[in-house]
Chain A
């Protein structure tokens, strides 16, 4: 049985190696990425503390077991001590062991409780910057409540993102450093969870609830995370990218976004008549970012969950039904209400769908039609 002993000692070496390993700043890919906020740092520290305590206890248990395996064997001629459980130690161990474990537990719990009180509740006595984070199947929407701007963030296909595939988005969540930020989490459809390890902790996005977390970034950089609560088919395609910039840069970015927003609103609400080509090219772009995730870029869908639009009865049928399903969604399915889009966007998407692939209805839908349909 030498073999078992060597295997166990190898395992022990591995564990010991890990213990040494975590004393240095862990590399990317083995441990948490380096925290970028004080709350995240607190969490990182308590994680390291519990990990060290756990490793120590593991070493204690392993050494006792391995000692016993080696020395207390019949093949060494060891005689079993039939009265070991009747000794003083045997009679009192049921008190001693829980007391020792309780001591360890209290060490962990008291430290954890201190950290918990620091990070759990959002500071109440000061003004925080509010960001509303809404999870959708399968993209994120970030509302800067104080600045009146909205960012829609979707994953970028592999061709464009390369090695950052599934960790890269088209529009980043831009946040200022040294500003206390409150995140308000909610969901438009199913459960999601917002998780950027460097920022702070996870929080679930629950439809009908608003949960809050807070964080204060202390360095600039780009931090990547992913949705962490199973939310259906493309759960793996909900990355979050936070770009942390200085407050000055952030202010400039906000100005740009507001200007873009005003321009888009003006364009959409004008009563101008759009040409077929304009609508279709705009629609193609919008379709591929907003609808293509489920219905696929080629319009084939992923039946049965996501019906094909190519040749579908709704897309090739009466316009009212098509408008209705886009604006109001289809309850009980993943098809959500897209009424939040502006008239121009909906018009462009519907025009594109009714003329793309094998669909040849020839219909052209103008923003003014959408206004009436609402």
Chain B
């Protein structure tokens, strides 16, 4: 086929691939999006299982189920599986599925690289699981007992499982950088004629900012863990004070990645929310321009406040003042986003289907988490909160509503589009209520535990912390098992149900609702015409 022709030539149309080839050799953005989403779901269950084991151990004081190293390894695994295995691939899955549909592009700009960026993930996931499994075998060395932050010198003491983990992080990083390059190129080159950047759907904007963040920070983490690898095996002393190195350097490298990472997790869900709330409030998004500005501001400021995770390392007064002010300033763009969501709901005609329920829960609970974040930003007070359960409660209140519930909402919102069937609304609402109740029951008491003096990541605690831990563990069991219902709803919807219209929701706006549900294998082979009044 000539690459210069723009004519649509039916003669060159191949039959759609089927069987395993369809998935392994896939270059189709919809199939790759589906793969991403199922990979993320699998990893979410693994991460959730480790979290439930942690909470089961903490149900009562004393050491009942796990030994301390296994416990710490589960803490490490829970974080890595959830962040790199569940949330990021799920967000990438939504991006793959929806971005080409939303901007009227036939596919992603770099379809084969898209295939690569997904198929690295199962290998990386296997490595991650191996790092957990290896110590159970003779000669496997010790468990990874460092938590996901991998701070040296502790991480230099760990056995060979740490090397598995380092390579797994390399692979996961490569995958997300490739996906980010792909998304940036797609968004900048493949928009339908007439769609300017300021007419892009907000979800695309969030992913544009996210992709830039990923490209900027993931290599730093890769460099940091590579230095760790050299310290472990090749006799360097990057992080060893005895050899002229600096243990704090790793913390800076890690958090230079780690803090923008939280915005990487958060922003795609904010994008999803910016579509759901206008749909169910039946009025346009309030403040499109300020939303875009806020996102860019969050991304920019988020890059330069990493050290607020390390207030206790003994920085100078000037340094901590700067990081404190910077961190507090982030509340301005985030507050603007929340305000825009509320203003979108304001004077709308709202109905409360499952995605909207999640969206409202996100606004309320994410605000709560954000405000405890402002408390944590205050250096003197953080000297007491730091590394206590208060921090655990804070970031779960931010990341669960902010990232995971946003993804749930997105899945419920677009399931009719993906499968062509409406999901069971009653089950969806039941799932929402069980899930949100369990979540709040789990993490609300942890604020009090932290203030009363319970540190993070301890397997065993004094009896004075018993009650709140017990409540928290009960909540965690409810919360954990509720996700089986999500799985059931998704499978049930795929297998059948009430057929969805191409515009599955009454108030839905945007190009993705112009194609059939489910969309044909190839969409927008002829670019859509963008009407100028579609802007908001």
Contacts and interface: CB of A to CB of B under 8 A. Distances in A.
Interface of A: 1, 4, 7-8, 11, 28-33, 42-43, 46-47, 50-51, 54, 57-58, 61-62, 64-65, 68-69, 72-75, 78-82, 84-85, 90, 93-94, 97-98, 101-102, 104-105, 108-109, 112-113, 115-117, 119-121, 163-167, 185, 189-191, 193, 195, 197, 200-204, 206-209, 211-212, 224-237, 302, 304-305, 332-334
A60 to B, nearest CB: 10
Given A116-B321, A201-B383, A101 B332 contact: yes
Closest 7 CB pairs of A and B: A208-B241, A201-B383, A211-B314, A94-B290, A236-B458, A54-B371, A81-B347
Nearest to B68: A233
Contacts of A81: 283, 347-348
A108 B331 CA distance: 12
A72 B287 contact: no
13 contacts: A4-B357, A7-B433, A33-B453, A65-B345, A69-B350, A94-B336, A105-B331, A108-B328, A112-B381, A163-B463, A208-B241, A232-B72, A233-B68
Contacts of B339: 93, 97
A113 B381 CA distance: 11
Interface stretch (B109-117, B216-224, B372-380): B372-380
Interface in B316-342: 317, 320-321, 324-325, 328-329, 331-333, 335-336, 338-340, 342
B505 to A, nearest CB: 12
Nearest to A237: B460
B248 interface: yes
A142 to B, nearest CB: 19
A68 B350 CA distance: 9
Contacts of A302: 67, 69
Contacts of B314: 185, 203-204, 206, 209, 211-212
B328 A226 contact: no
B319 to A, nearest CB: 11
A72 B349 CA distance: 5
B380 A46 contact: yes
B189 to A, nearest CB: 29
A64 B287 contact: no
Interface of B: 61, 67-69, 72, 135, 140-143, 145-147, 149, 151, 153-154, 156-157, 159, 240-242, 246-248, 281-287, 289-290, 293, 312-314, 317, 320-321, 324-325, 328-329, 331-333, 335-336, 338-340, 342-343, 345-352, 357, 360, 363-364, 367-368, 371-372, 374-375, 378-381, 383-384, 386-388, 433, 440, 448, 451-453, 455-465, 468, 536
A58 B384 CA distance: 22
Contact of A228 (B247, B347, B386, B468): B386
Given A54-B375, A61-B342, A208 B247 contact: yes
Contacts of A164: 462
Contact of B157 (A47, A201, A333): A333
A304 B342 contact: no
Nearest to A89: B343
B147 A230 contact: yes
Given A43-B383, A94-B289, A65 B363 contact: yes
Nearest to B365: A11
Contact of B380 (A30, A115, A209): A115
Contact of B248 (A46, A51, A209): A209
Given A73-B349, A97-B339, A166-B462, A227 B381 contact: no
A233 B69 contact: yes
Contacts of B242: 207-208
A230 B388 CA distance: 11
Contacts of B153: 189-191, 207
Centre residue among B145, B157, B363 by max chain A CB count within 10 A = B157
Contact of A226 (B68, B140, B386, B455): B455
B345 A195 contact: no
Contacts of A93: 286-287, 290, 339-340, 343
A72 B345 CA distance: 8
A175 B293 CA distance: 53
Nearest to B337: A97
